[in-house]
Structure 1
Amino acid sequence: MTINSDGLETKAGAGSDIAVLFAEFSQAFEEFKATNDQRLEELEKRGSADGLLEGKLDRLNAVLDGQKAALDRAMVERARPQLDGKAAHGESEYKEAFTGYVKRGEEKALSVGVGADGGYFVPSETETEITRLMTTVSPIRAIAGVRQVSGSVYKRPISVTGPAVGWVGETAARPTTASQTLAELSYPTTELYAMPAATAAFLDDAAVDVGQWIADEVNAAFAAQETTAFVLGDGVNKPKGFLTANAVAETSWSWGNLGYVPTGVAGSLPTSNASDVLIDLVYSLKAGYRQNASWVMNRKVQGTLRKLKDADGNYLWQPATTADGKARFMGFELVEAEDMPNIAANSLSVAFGDFRRGYLIVDRQGVSVLRDPFSSKPYVLFYTTKRVGGGIADYDAIKLLKFAAS
Structure 2
Amino acid sequence: MSSLETKTLSGEEALADLHRAFTAFKDTNEERLAQIETRMGVDALTEEKLQRIDRAIDETKRRIDRVALDLSRPRLGASASDDAPAREHKSAFALYMRSGEAVGLKALESKALSAGSGPDGGYLVPTPAEQEILRRLTRLSPIRAIASVREISTHSLRKAYSTQGPASGWVAEADPRPQTSSQQIVDLTFPAMELYAMPAATQTLLDDSAIDVEQWIAEEVQTVFAEQEGAAFVSGNGTDKPKGFLAYTTVADASWTSGNIGYVATGVSGGFAASNPSDALFNLVYALRAGYRQNGKFVLNRQTQSTIRKFKSSTGEYLWAPPATLDQPASLLNFPVVEAEDMPNVGADSLSVAFGDFARGYLVVDRLGVRVLRDPYSAKPYVLFYTTKRVGGGVQDFEAIKLLKFGAA
If the length of structure 2 is used for normalisation, what is the TM-score? 0.92
Cα deviations by residue, 1:307-353 (Å, 9 ceiling, x for unpaired)? 00001110000000002210000000000111111111111110000
- String of CA shifts for 1:247-285, please: whole Å, max 9, x gaps: 111110000111111111111111111111111110000
Moved more, 185-194 or 113-122: 113-122
Corresponding residue of 2:41: 48
- Matched residue, 2:98: 103
* C-alpha RMSD over aligned residues: 2.1
Aligned pair in 2 of structure 1 residues 208, 311: CA closer, same or farther (>3 Å)?
Answer: same
Residues in 1 aligned to 2:265 and 2:65: alpha-carbon distance in whole angstroms:
32
1:28 aligns with 2:21: yes
Q: Which amino acid aligns with 2:47?
A: E
Q: In the alignment, what sits opposite 2:399?
A: 396
Taking the aligned partners of 1:176 and 1:24, their CA distance within structure 2 comes to 62
Matched, 1:207 2:210: yes
Question: Alignment partner for residue 62 of structure 1, among 55, 65, 70?
Answer: 55
Which structure: greater helix fraction?
2
1:141, 1:191 → 2: CA distance?
16
Q: Are residues 221 and 153 of structure 1, via their aligned partners in 2, closer, same or farther at CA, if it must alter by over 3 Å? A: same
Gaps of 5+ in 2: 1-5
Distance 2:402 2:8 in 1: 42
Aligned-partner SS, 1:361: strand
2:299 to 296, 300, 307: 296
In 2, the alpha carbon distance for the partners of 1:165 and 1:137 equals 41
**Distance in 2 of aligned mates of 1:14 and 1:81:** 13
Separation of aligned partners in 1, 2:229 and 2:363: 13
CA contact (8 A) 1:21 1:67 kept: yes
Residue 263 of structure 1 is aligned with which of 259, 262, 266? 266
Paired with 1:267 and 1:153, the residues of 2 have a C-alpha distance of 38
Contact 1:163 1:177 in 2 (8 A): no
Match of 1:92 in 2: 87
What's the counterpart of residue 249 of structure 1? 252
Opposite residue 50 of structure 2, the aligned amino acid is L
Distance of 1:132 and 1:47 partners within structure 2: 52
Instruction: Letter of the 2:99 partner, please give it.
Output: R
SS in 2 for 1:158: strand
1:130 deviates by 0.5
Using the TM superposition, give the Cα deviation of residue 78 of structure 1 relative to its aligned residue in structure 2, in angstroms: 2.0
| Aligned twin of 2:242 | 239
Partner of 2:222: 219
1:281–1:400 Cα contact (<8 Å) kept: yes
Go from structure 1 to structure 2 and tell me whether the alpha carbon gap of 1:28 and 1:167 turns closer, same or farther (over 3 Å shift): closer
Judged with a 3 Å threshold, the aligned counterparts in structure 2 of structure 1 residues 261 and 115 are, in CA distance, closer, same or farther, namely closer
Equivalences, count: 394
Question: CA–CA distance in 1 between the matches of 2:37 and 2:180?
Answer: 61
Say which SS state the counterpart of residue 234 (structure 1) adopts.
coil
Instruction: Point out 4+ residue stretches in structure 1 off by more than 6 angstroms.
Output: 13-16, 167-174
Name 1:360's counterpart in structure 2. 363
Q: Residues 8 and 71 of structure 2 are in contact (CA less than 8 Å); yes or no, is this contact kept in structure 1? A: no
Q: 1:344 is paired with a residue of what secondary structure? A: coil
- Give the 5 Å matches for 1:237-386: 237-386=240-389
Contact 1:115 1:121 in 2 (8 A): no
User: Is the contact between residue 144 and residue 361 of structure 1 (CA under 8 Å) also seen in structure 2?
Assistant: yes
Contact 1:353 1:398 (C-alpha < 8 Å) held by counterparts: yes
Q: TM-score, normalised by structure 1?
A: 0.93
Instruction: Identify the match of residue 134 of structure 1 among 113, 137, 140.
Output: 137
CA 1:164–1:154: 2 relative to 1, 3 Å: closer
Distance of 1:276 and 1:149 partners within structure 2: 42
Note if contact 1:163-1:178 (Cα within 8 Å) is conserved in structure 2.
Answer: no
Structure 1: which amino acid aligns with 2:12?
A
Distance in structure 2 (CA, Å) of the matches to 1:237 and 1:145:
21
Q: Structure 1 residues 20, 170: CA separation in 2 closer, same or farther (over 3 Å shift)?
A: closer
